[in-house]
Chains A and B, each alone.
Chain A
Amino acid sequence: MMLISAAMTLVVGHELQSAEPKEEKQRLRKEKKQHKKNKKDDRGPPEKEKEKEKASVPAPSKPATQSPAHKAAPVPVNASASESPVAAEKPAKSKAELRAERRARQDSERASKQGKKEGGQQSTSSKPKATPNELQPVVKRLPDHVQVDDPVALKKLAKKLERQQKSGQGCSLNITGVKVPLRSDYGYKVSLFSHLHQYSRKNPPTQQISIPVTVIHPSIVRLGLQYSQGIIAGSNARSVALLHAFKQVIQDYSTPPNEELSRDLVNKLSPYISFLSQCRPLSASMGNAIKYIKKEISNIPSQCKEEEAKRILQECIDSYINEKIILASEAISKYAIEKISDGDVILVYGCSSLVNHILCEAFEKQRKFRVIVVDSRPRLEGREALRRLVKKGIRCTYVLISALSYILPEVSKVFLGAHALLANGYVMSRVGTSQIALVAKAYNVPVLVCCETYKFCERVQTDSFVSNELDDPDDLIVTRNGKTHLENWQTVKSLGLLNLVYDVTPPDFVDLVITDLGMIPCTSVPVVLRVKNVDQ
């Protein structure tokens, strides 16, 4: 029977605990889910809804009340409770039943086993049981977006998206409705990056959504499409667009009865954020903006009227955009202009809104300099930067990144933009940036990175592999002289096209970081993060 096999695997699992804990836990979880499915078929869905409400309260207390004598049972339960945050939503009644039966069976199994084995072996096997108990809550999970090659993690993500749709609908019984779509990967992925998603622009995430959209606000759908098709690109642009879309969402929001705005609105935003991350992985700046909004929403006092609360939130968002993006770029320009002297030859890469702003301001302040714009395929963003600078009247030269070492002896300074600044001083920016910094260092040319403080993030990364973004591989296909060589790249089994979006530059290659707080060396980023946290 199911339960006996589950119990058997439990006992066996503990002896193998030190050897293969992860697979055992996965198997155990599968058994539990199967068991629950059987129970589900016995009862109807409405009962399950009622149980969910009850379950969410008693479930968290369950792990606390485990008696220490039955060490075996709490270990897999704690594992599932701490590792899958959705465990609390599963019906606890069947869990309790299952646990009780399992306990009974385990006692009998253990009694029979004890007779066979020596006492010493039992105590050593109970020791590994004890320590995982304490270690269990400390184990950290990898974020979902870097676990694409793990099928279990993908299934969990799919379930989470489904569940978000359900919670958005409240107590409605309509299960077959609109889902937050799970986008499928496209094409062969290079094995080093198989843990990341690779989507195609020809399969937009909205294909699986029916019209009219009930769960996701239309401005968020529009925003998601703009992200996935590359219409809105660039760290600042994406954050500002996100904040404007959230303003619209808050405007159209109405608190359901018996709900508090501060709690319900945050829950409403979660499926939107999942949808947006399916369209295009969130950037560090967007992550910080979302954290700020969620904090502001949960700080709304409960006696506040809805109109008043909405007005406060709109004001918060407006002031965030104004302070952290617009005013910050003014402050950064002020510092950066001190570093631009007459006769300078400045090298820029790609199109950074901040660097373009600095150069335009410096030109207006009558500094004499000329600019070399370095560009690279497939995005060719440098052309946009070139267009903006030439329109102002600045003398520009345009090269591709392959000509970098040819042009560098002429250059006196390099100005780079950043997508995010990591806590260990590494700079995450458009792919190609670290190459420019490396060659500039070899030629002893100072490298200046310009970055607002809202892009500083607590993450630590030392290479470009662990967390990155893969763009549409079809972008690398180009037609020249009527011939498109890579057209049928998918038919060649051993061929993979890699279109990376970001890379990471070590702090030794960066001479100076200009932020709205002033000019700091790259190694002082954690100091700024610390000062910011103290302020908040």
Chain B
Amino acid sequence: NVDKNKLVEYFRAQIREDPDVASAVAAIRSLLEFLKRDQSETILGLRENMTKAIQRLEETDSSVAVSSGGELFLRFISLTSLEHPDLSQCKNVMIERGELFLKKISLSRGKVGKLCHTFIKDGAKILTHSSSRVVLKVLENAAADNKRFTVYVTESQPDSAGKLMAQKLHNLNIPVTVVLDAAVGYIMEKVDLVIVGAEGVVESGGVINKIGTYQMAVCSKAHNKPFYVVAESFKFVRLYPLNQQDVPDRFKYKADILKTVKDLNQEHPMIDYTPPSLITLLFTDLGVLTPSAVSDELIKLYL
């Protein structure tokens, strides 16, 4: 358990040092470090320790991405022939694959940015929700491409993350306006397209994102505006929610609230689920996908 605390410390340190890194990437870095320092004698023991470590990280940061990233990491490193008789050799193979995985996903945000910015035309008006680092990267790429566009960001209560996003965009010299969450319907007729990030992409092709995304998707469908989601591939998770209440509780609320509060009905959930019928396209580092193609990719990744 001393190990677990060190793990959490390492994880928190990673996020502190580089605030721009995705929480899943920080989690995977910590897991890799944990793997290197692990002392177990058997592969089964190693796997068990890793699973426990992932659970411990999920308790620290309850976002879907940490859970999906962790599971994918575990699969990636163990889905290879571990037939070497010597445990340390196996461990080296696993560490090697872990480094490879980490390198791949560190580049994924850049790939998504490159794919998506071509969909932003000159003079476009974009609506986005809350603060997403991937959307920021996309808009950065588009601005670097000398495109002129304006951005509307929702305030995104209760943590006012939208204001943070507006500040970052302002630093990039992109004209930005902050609107209330309640003004999405009002502003929808002015905008040309909607781009949001995702915390998790589920098997049906739907997304889990900050609360308020579902509303925005329904509005954009009613106005026939394209609704784009940008997400890295390590956010693909093996969930299949049928409706809002089908999303597991451990993702809906922040980690510290889950531990301290008795009656979750009094708390407000931090995320909601947007079904695939409302999404036009998903931009991932695996390519530009329709929602029904997500299941295809998931089957390839997991089966």
A interface vs B, CB < 8 Å? 339, 413, 446, 448, 511-512, 517-521, 523-524, 527-528, 531
A527-B296, A531-B299 given; A521·B242 CB < 8 A:
no
Leading 4 A-B pairs by shortest Cβ distance: A446-B242, A523-B292, A524-B295, A519-B240
Interface presence of B260 (CB below 8 A): no
Say whether A521 contacts B299, CB under 8 Å: no
Given contacts A512-B204, A517-B303, A531-B303, whether A524 and B242 have CB atoms under 8 Å apart is: no
Bound together, the chains give a CA A167 to CA B276 distance in angstroms of 56
Q: Are A520 and B242 in contact (CB under 8 A)?
A: no
B173 within 8 A of A: no
Task: Decide yes or no whether B205 CB sits under 8 A from chain A.
Answer: yes
Are B243 and A524 in touch, CB under 8 angstroms?
Answer: no
Closest to B297 in A: A527
CB of B285 within 8 A of chain A? no
Q: B residues 231-255 with Cβ under 8 Å of A?
A: 238, 240, 242-243, 246
- Give the distance to chain A from B75, nearest Cβ to Cβ, in Å: 14
B203 close to A (CB within 8 Å) = yes
Beyond A520-B295, A521-B203, A523-B292, 16 additional pairs, beta carbon < 8 A: A413-B242, A446-B242, A446-B243, A512-B204, A512-B240, A512-B242, A517-B303, A518-B238, A520-B299, A521-B204, A521-B276, A523-B295, A527-B299, A528-B299, A531-B299, A531-B303
- The contact sample of 7 A-B pairs, CB cut-off 8 A, is A339-B242, A511-B204, A512-B204, A520-B299, A521-B203, A527-B299, A531-B303
- Shortest distance between the CB of A344 and any CB in chain B (Å): 11
Would you give the shortest CB distance from A521 to chain B, in whole angstroms? Answer: 5
- Chain B residues, CB < 8 A from A448: 242
Q: DSSP class of B's interface residues: helix, strand, loop or mixed?
A: loop
User: In the complex, are the beta carbons of A511 and B242 less than 8 A apart?
Assistant: yes
**Residues of A contacting B204 in the complex (Cβ-Cβ under 8 angstroms):** 511-512, 521
Q: B238: which A residues are within 8 A, CB to CB? A: 518
Which of chain A's residues have a CB closer than 8 A to the CB of B240? 512, 519
- Could you tell me which residues of chain B, from 245 to 303, have a CB within 8 Å of some CB in chain A? 246, 276, 292, 295-296, 299, 303
Nearest to A413 among chain B residues (CB) is: B242
How far, in angstroms, from A524 to B246 measured CA to CA in the complex?
A: 21
> Given A339-B242, A512-B240, do A521 and B303 touch, yes or no (CB 8 Å)?
no
Q: Within the assembled complex, what's the spacing in Å between the Cα atoms of A517 and B240?
A: 14
Interchain nearest-CB distance for A438 vs B (Å): 16
B contact residues around A517 at 8 Å (CB): 303
Contacts of A527 in B (CB 8 A): 295-296, 299
Contacts of B242 in A (CB 8 A): 339, 413, 446, 448, 511-512
Minimum C-beta distance from B32 to chain A (A):
28
Give the residues in chain B near A446, CB-CB below 8 Å: 242-243
User: B240: nearest residue on chain A (CB-CB)?
Assistant: A519
B277 CB to closest chain A CB (Å) equals 8
Measured between alpha carbons, how far is A335 from B96 in the docked complex, in Å?
A: 34
Shortest distance from the beta carbon of A379 to any chain B beta carbon, whole Å: 29
In the complex, which residues of chain A have a beta carbon less than 8 angstroms from the beta carbon of B205?
Answer: 521
Chain A residues within 8 Å of B292, by CB: 521, 523-524
Residues on the B chain within 8 Å of A523, using CB:
292, 295
Measured in the bound complex, the distance between the Cα atoms of B238 and A518 in whole Å is: 10
Chain A contacts of B296 at CB under 8 A? 524, 527
C-alpha spacing A527/B238, complex, angstroms: 17
One digit per residue, 1 when the CB lies within 8 angstroms of any chain A CB and 0 when it does not, for chain B 179-218 equals: 0000000000000000000000001110000000000000
A520, B203: Cβ atoms closer than 8 Å: yes
- Which chain B residues border A339 with CB–CB below 8 Å? 242, 246
- Separation of A511 and B296 alpha carbons in the complex (Å): 16
Bound together, the chains give a CA A528 to CA B299 distance in angstroms of: 9
State A105–B16 Cα separation when bound (angstroms). Answer: 95
Q: How far apart sit A531 and B238, CA to CA, in the bound complex (Å)?
A: 18
| Whole-angstrom CA separation of A512 from B243 in the bound complex | 12
- Tell me which residues across on chain B come within 8 A of A521, comparing CB atoms: 203-205, 276, 292, 295
Q: Looking across the interface, which residue of chain A has its beta carbon closest to that of B296?
A: A527
- Per-residue CB contact flags for chain B residues 107-119 toward chain A (1 = under 8 Å, else 0) read 0000000000000
Return chain A residues, CB-CB under 8 Å to B299: 520, 524, 527-528, 531
For A520, give the chain B residue with the smallest CB separation: B295
A511 vs B238: C-alpha distance when bound (angstroms)? 16
Chain B residues closer than 8 Å to A524, beta-carbon distance: 292, 295-296, 299
- Closest CB in chain A relative to B8 CB, distance in Å: 29
Interface residues in B29-88 by Cβ distance below 8 A to A read none
Q: Which residue of A lies closest to B245 (CB)?
A: A341
Cα of A520 to Cα of B240 in the assembled complex, Å: 8
Chain B residues in 8 Å Cβ range of A520: 203, 295, 299
Which of B203, B238, B240, B299 has the most chain A CB atoms inside 10 A of its CB? B240
Instruction: Please give, as numbers and ranges, the residues of chain A lying within 8 Å of B246 by CB-CB distance.
Output: 339
Q: How far is the CA of A407 from the CA of B295 in the complex (A)?
A: 33
Q: How many angstroms from the CA of A523 to the CA of B292 in the assembled complex?
A: 6
B243 — which chain A residues lie within 8 A by C-beta?
Answer: 446
A511–B243 Cα gap in the complex (Å)?
10
Q: Which of A413, A512, A524, A531 lies at the interface centre, i.e. has the most chain B CB atoms within 10 A of its CB?
A: A524
> Which of chain B's residues have a CB closer than 8 A to the CB of A518?
238, 303
Q: With the chains together, A527 CA to B294 CA distance in Å?
A: 11
Contacts of A531 in B (CB 8 A): 299, 303
User: CA A524 – CA B300 in complex, angstroms?
Assistant: 12
| Nearest CB in chain A to that of B290: its residue | A523
Kindly report which residue of chain A lies nearest to residue B206, judged by CB atoms: A521
Give A448 to B246 CA distance when docked, in angstroms. Answer: 14
